[in-house]
Structure 1
């Protein structure tokens, strides 16, 4: 039943706006790895509206089955079974991929994990493959809004390894992994959708 599923209001709020951009980026048949699937609401929404994609959910080994109720309820044939993915591991248990997506992970992961995510995707994405990363980011060394400042303080109070990342640090780190920032879309609620492209 609906109330038994895990639920994220943020996913419900942002999914139509993210879908609008993903439709432009992932417009040909492809297998897309979602890093940090969480509740599964994004996976179901995107796979349902983009039937030409094969969607591969994944999440931390402690959390990867959280999405199962949503996946079982939707019964979409283009969503694969979720996999337990620790981005810090050398071997990722994922199929051959053509693109990747992740939402609201970079500020929750430790910086070393963000680096590991980009390293792993840099190794696995084909030439010209896209990685779409959604969330809040800082620019020119500062916050883009008071709400982001408060959110960052909240994150760091919970865990000092968390925090909103600086776009300049992200670009430098991505470059080390043969990825470059192709597009930077402004999104609602002081978020961005960053499109990283494999060289």
Structure 2
């Protein structure tokens, strides 16, 4: 047992509700890329409960090894070693064939240029009808869905000017530009959403 596993309370809180949706969405065997694996808690939980999937963790090169304590302790045969993926520099060619993509709480941390690069990269690697599931808080027509999201957005922007909760209209446009159409917008606990894009 690793004594010093990194821990995210948000991951612990949201892994159950997200799994319920992913079990329906990713119901065929194949490899799912996780962008922004972070601590690895999601990777372990989803790989454990979705044994038909091979889970491919990835994160920014600075964070790519953060998930190793969780992944090594779980020792699941259907989790690949984590990959360093810089969405802008486009090291997307290092990936195995990908059937679906999942990312949680990344769009508001990334700079907008990185969000654009993520959509572009995802569209390149997904097969026709492949799904891209993006979890987090989002704005609609420039409006926050709750006071807590508004406070969170302010705190993000105070930490770093490039961060902030993204607007759905901009994301939808970004999807369309890259041949990804928004199929589902699920309400999730704690004022979050799960957005599901399908590659045309």
TM-score bucket (shorter structure): over 0.9
Q: In 2, Cα distance between the equivalents of 1:181 and 1:2?
A: 40
Q: What is the TM-score with the length of structure 1 in the denominator?
A: 0.99
Corresponding residue SS for 1:39: coil
How is 1:65-76 mapped onto 2 (pairs within 5 angstroms)? 65-76=65-76
Cα-to-partner distance string for 1:35-68 (whole Å, 9 max, x where unaligned): 0000000000000000000000000000000000
2:117 maps to which residue?
116
Q: Answer yes or no: is the 8 Å Cα contact 2:38–2:66 preserved in 1.
A: yes
Q: In 1, Cα distance between the equivalents of 2:19 and 2:10?
A: 14
Q: In 2, Cα distance between the equivalents of 1:38 and 1:90?
A: 19
Q: In 1, Cα distance between the equivalents of 2:41 and 2:2?
A: 12
Q: Answer yes or no: is the 8 Å Cα contact 2:34–2:55 preserved in 1.
A: yes
1:28 maps to which residue?
28
1:98 maps to which residue?
99
1:144 maps to which residue?
145
Q: In 1, Cα distance between the equivalents of 2:141 and 2:88?
A: 28
Q: In 2, Cα distance between the equivalents of 1:35 and 1:84?
A: 10
2:158 maps to which residue?
157
Following TM superposition, by how much is the alpha carbon of 1:90 offset from its aligned partner in structure 2, in angstroms? 2.8
Corresponding residue SS for 2:120: helix
Following TM superposition, by how much is the alpha carbon of 1:3 offset from its aligned partner in structure 2, in angstroms? 4.0
Q: Answer yes or no: is the 8 Å Cα contact 2:185–2:196 preserved in 1.
A: yes
2:58 maps to which residue?
58
Following TM superposition, by how much is the alpha carbon of 1:193 offset from its aligned partner in structure 2, in angstroms? 0.3
2:175 maps to which residue?
174
1:187 maps to which residue?
188
Corresponding residue SS for 1:117: helix
Q: In 1, Cα distance between the equivalents of 2:91 and 2:19?
A: 29
RMSD: 0.7
Q: In 1, Cα distance between the equivalents of 2:16 and 2:118?
A: 25
Q: In 1, Cα distance between the equivalents of 2:4 and 2:159?
A: 27
Q: How many residues align?
A: 199
Moved beyond 4 Å, runs of 4+: none
Q: In 2, Cα distance between the equivalents of 1:22 and 1:34?
A: 12
Q: What is the TM-score with the length of structure 2 in the denominator?
A: 0.98
Following TM superposition, by how much is the alpha carbon of 1:153 offset from its aligned partner in structure 2, in angstroms? 0.3
Any gaps of 5 or more consecutive residues in structure 2?
none
Any gaps of 5 or more consecutive residues in structure 1?
none
